[in-house]
Amino acid sequence: MSSRLCRTSVAVLALAGAAIAAYLVYVRYAHVTIACTTGGCEKVQSSRYAELAGIPVAVLGLGGYVAILATTIRDTGPARVAGLWLAVVGTAFSLYLLVVQLAVIDAICQWCVASDIVMVLVLIASVGRLYAPRPEAELAARS
DSSP notation for 75-122: --HHHHHHHHHHHHHHHHHHHHHHHHIIIII----HHHHHHHHHHHHH
Report the pLDDT averaged over residues 2-15. Answer: 93
- At residue 85's C-alpha, the angle toward residues 49 and 101, to 5°, is 20
Per residue in 31-90, pLDDT (tens digit) is 999 999 989 999 999 999 999 999 999 999 999 999 999 999 998 999 999 999 999 999
Decide: helix, strand or coil at residue 63. helix
CATH architecture of 3-134: Up-down Bundle (1.20)
pLDDT of residue 141: 53
- At residue 101's C-alpha, the angle toward residues 92 and 116, to 5°, is 40
Whether the CB-CB separation of 66 and 18 falls below 8 Å is answered with: yes
Q: 55 — phi, psi (to 5°)?
A: -105, 125
Per residue in 26-44, pLDDT (tens digit) is 999 999 999 999 899 999 9
Q: Is the dihedral of CA 87, 57, 46, 27 positive or negative?
A: negative
